[in-house]
Amino acid sequence: MTIPRRSWRAAGTYAAVAVAGLTGAVLCAGPAAAHTPTWAVTCTDVSLDLTAYNGGVTNQVTVSVDGKDLLPTETFGREFHKKLELPQHDKELTVHLVVKAGDGDQFSKDETKTAPVCADNTPKPTPTESESKPAEKPTTAAPTPSATPSESSPETAPAAASPSPSSDLAETGSSSATPIIGGAAVAVLLAGGGIMWSVRKRRTAQH
């Protein structure tokens, strides 16, 4: 049996349309399945791994912590990888990720995660004044060492005052008035001798 050429042409056209339709569906489904915004939050950092995005458009990513920018808006192409360090904190932090895909809002991402508190960052209770200062140990006063004899010779005692002549005479039985008495005695003897000489002269003159 012979098949008309028109039938072959019609069948070829339908096949071409079907192939084109399938190709378009695959191309459209490809980007949707390819966008992979992976991110993780720990007590110390935020890890971003955005892969398989459309490199022909401009994509954007922003990360904020408790309303403050941790990563200001940055643009990227097919991939974006970055690790962001979180500030030290003593309470949980709210981390907000926003990814805007340039090829459609359906590929964008807006998600929030919580950063826990690290175990070693837990604030320690403030010690009271009595606890902060160590108890003072009672100290035993060391006995004051007695004055040790100096190796140098002791200071010379002040020289005793030299005794006056009068004191020496007193010690030997004499007196300071002895010369005066002696002089008086000599004067008396002389006077006596003079008197006796005068008497004898008068007696001689009478005879």
Per-residue pLDDT at 26 = 39
Q: Helix, strand or coil for residue 56?
A: coil
**What is the pLDDT, as a whole number, of residue 170?**
46
| 36-46 core/surface letters (b: 16 or more CB in 10 A; e: else) | ebebebebeeb
- Residue 145 pLDDT: 57
Rounded Cα distance, 147 and 157, in Å: 19
The pTM score is 0.46
Q: What is the pLDDT of residue 71?
A: 96
Query: What is residue 201's predicted lDDT score, i.e. its pLDDT?
Result: 77
129: its two tokens: 């004044």
Q: Are strands 80-85 and 45-51 parallel, antiparallel or unpaired?
A: antiparallel
Output the tens digit of pLDDT for each of the chain's 207 residues: 555 555 545 555 555 544 444 444 434 444 445 789 999 999 999 999 999 999 999 999 999 999 999 999 999 999 999 999 999 999 999 999 999 999 999 999 999 999 999 987 555 566 666 555 666 665 666 666 555 555 544 455 555 555 554 444 444 445 556 667 777 777 778 887 778 877 777 777 766
How far CA 112 is from CA of 59, 90, 105, in Å, comes to: 19, 19, 18
The pLDDT, as a whole number, for residue 54 is 93
